[in-house]
Amino acid sequence: MIEYLQHLSPWQWLAFGTLLLILEVFGAGGYLLWIGVAAAGVALAGFVFPALPWALQFVLFGVLSILTAVYWWRRQRSGKSPSEQPGLNQRGQEFLGRRFALHEAIVDGRGKIKAGDSLWLVTGPDLPQGSEVRVIGQDGVLLRVEAA
């Protein structure tokens, strides 16, 4: 085994990096991507410095792997900035505080309102059809309403 490691070529590092990138496609969450990039970096160093000792190649691979992983980790954490549209992709949140007329009467605590081009199930006090209600909350797909 040591004989094999002493004669690693840049092409073998490139093949290893390619294998890691292929494995990344199957859902490693970005981690194998950066380790594959580190292997490609060692391959590049092997092409530039053909007499690079195998031990130094592994040290370089380890250092590049850690640096790229830390880079990925910091980039992922910095991308968690607050959105300019906090209710985006949270249907129903945009209706909080708005008033609507009941499309179907609230009977036994359940009814419907028409909001935009959709009908929404609502919960609240029993009210006749056409009554004006105000949305005060949301429980999953149900909007909580009160008489306006």
The residue extents of the domains of the chain are 2-78, 93-147
Q: Which residue has the higher pLDDT, 7 or 114?
A: 114
* pTM greater than 0.85 (yes/no): no
Name the superfamily (CATH) of residues 93-147.
Nucleic acid-binding proteins (2.40.50.140)
C-alpha span between 134 and 101 (Å, rounded): 9
- At residue 118, φ and ψ (nearest 5 deg) are -125, 150
- 9 Cα distance to chain centroid: 37
In this structure, how many other beta carbons lie within 10 angstroms of the beta carbon of residue 82? 5
Q: Residues 43-91: pLDDT tens digits? A: 999 999 998 898 999 999 999 999 998 988 888 787 666 667 766 667 8
C-alpha span between 61 and 64 (Å, rounded): 5
